[in-house]
Amino acid sequence: MQRNELEKILKGFTGRSIAILGDVMLDEFCWGKVDRISPEAPVPVVQVKKETWRPGGAANVASNVVAMGAKAHIFGIVGDDGSGRRLTEELQSHGIGTEGLIVDSGRRTSVKTRILGQNQQMLRVDREHTEPIDYERQKAILNVILDMSDELDGVIVSDYAKGVIVEDLFKEIVTRFRKKNKFIAVDPRQKNFPFYKKQTIITPNVKEAQEALGRLLETDEDIMKGGVDLLKQTHSDAILITRSEKGMSLFEKGKDPITIPTRAIKVFDVTGAGDTVISTFSLGLASGCNMIQSAEVANLAAGVVVGIVGTAAATQEQVLSHFDRSKL
């Protein structure tokens, strides 16, 4: 890909409108320093110097969409609690539409707290409910997303297996939006693979692909066969397997698979890299790119965020800068 082509693609992201359906979370970061071991147990003592919060999970996908200059609308569940209100405020401050964020007094907002010392993650604490949402919450989400469907270019399903992505809701979304010729992109979790069917694209990492297929994918040959098998199994238009330091492999119906080498220069933290991949890939589809172009730009964007500690999102300017540095 040439720089002028990349610039044109990125400019096409501006003004696109994407729905993100899935498990929203609040990512909390406690930043500190370590200079001693606890006398109570053989563990480091982190002296917290500051605390920061970011939208996480499906909400981080929305943040990535907005960072790239497009519009994002989030659809999911938060609790009637302080964390839910903080998350909603964070989303709105990023310019993310929260019309589809349903408040459920019977659940707590998912919060992931990361304790960092000298910029290294020492511990993560998760507070969450993972029970499937009930019919009334499914209906509430469906009604709002369908009311907005005409203004949306497509839907990203960001599944963290925390209860929002359930079979009936998923099938209804796929059926309704594919009838309107709009894409459905799925970032999967293994437990729900049996009902991921007929989406436009699904983006498992190697571990998720292995779990879905029930076998190891250890060699390039294994990956190539596994991607083809997943394409048949899910009846998708395409499969994008993300392969960490080996880049990503794209499988499209009726086409030969291709592998795109990684563009990462430094890797500090892979938190949220999958969110960046699916958001950027989806914006490529929304702006008229083919799947190979979309995957190449997503690969560049992922190279940006893995070089940043903590949950992060790439901007158009950062992607262009990363492209220039990766060419040196």
Give catalytic residues, as residue numbers.
275
CB 59 within 8 Å of CB 87: yes
Give the span between the Cα atoms of 281 and 239, in whole angstroms: 12
Give the span between the Cα atoms of 249 and 255, in whole angstroms: 13
Phi, psi of 256 (to 5 degrees): -70, 140
CB 82 within 8 Å of CB 294: no
Nearest to 134 by CA among 97, 101, 171, 107: 107
Question: Helices 316-326 and 291-305 sit at what angle, rounded to 10 degrees?
Answer: 90
Name beta bridge partners: 28: 53, 113
Nearest to 157 by CA among 271, 278, 22: 22
Determine how β-strand 110-117 pairs with β-strand 97-104: unpaired
Residue 205 DSSP code: B
Determine how β-strand 71-79 pairs with β-strand 120-127: unpaired
Give the span between the Cα atoms of 67 and 49, in whole angstroms: 27
